[in-house]
Amino acid sequence: MSRRLSFSLGAALATAVTLAAAPAQAAWSDTQQAPTGFFVPTDAQKYQDPPYWRHADQDWGWTHTAYGGSITTATLNISAFDVDLSSGEIDNVYAYDDGVATLLGHLDGSNDTYSFTTFNLGANFYNDIAAGLQVWVDIDTANAGWQLTLAKSTLAIDGAQLPPPDPGVPEPATWAMMLGGFGLIGGTMRSRRAKVRFAG
């Protein structure tokens, strides 16, 4: 009886982990962050110049993972530190539409904080998302002496949840898988203890 109960608990836990890792809707996200390129790995390095605290002559781009599913809505979400719009800082963001750099707008963050700026991507970008969306940031567009630190970039399909904007924080799905993994280890250990009892 204990063996069956232990197996049932393990199976239920495995099902719960699968459901936690795979959202109920057909949502999908891809986050580019450290150690990719010049995304800052930790908050302590945000003012490290070079390479993370970047100037007007240090513009930078990256490519998101290709997505093969269907798309109803898509957003590009870029987390940056110290976007001081009130003082005139402008950092323009471009995505490539059939190979042409297309202006999405500018980062709209806050001074001395990490925050996401969200750009809605029209259907014209869906084929580019399927191939791996290319993104480019024109840092300090007006060449006015501003610097910028980038934490991460998340491409979210059909309402996928965004990770925290700070650097070095796992995505929600990663947390779910880690917690689920710990649960499975616990279930396995309980199962082994039950087997030991029956062996004696």
For residue range 22-81, list pLDDT tens digits in order: 444 489 999 999 999 999 999 999 999 999 999 999 999 999 999 999 999 999 999 999
Structural domain tally of the chain? 2
Task: Report pTM.
Answer: 0.74
The partner residues of 31 in beta bridges, in order of sequence, read 154
Percent of the chain past pLDDT 70, that is, above it, reads 72
Is the pLDDT confidence value at 8 over 80? no
DSSP states of 62-131 as a string? EEPPP--S--S-EEEEEEEE---GGGT---EEEEEETTEEEEEEE----TTSEEEEEEEE-GGGHHHHHH
User: Is the same domain home to 62 and 147?
Assistant: yes
Q: What pLDDT was estimated at residue 170?
A: 60
Between residues 113 and 12, the one the model is more confident about: 113
pLDDT bin (cut points 50, 70, 90) of residue 172 is low
Q: What pLDDT was estimated at residue 169?
A: 67
Residues of the domain holding 18: 1-23+170-200
Local structure of residue 65 (DSSP, 8 states): P
Check which CATH number belongs to the domain holding 122 and give it. Answer: 2.60.120
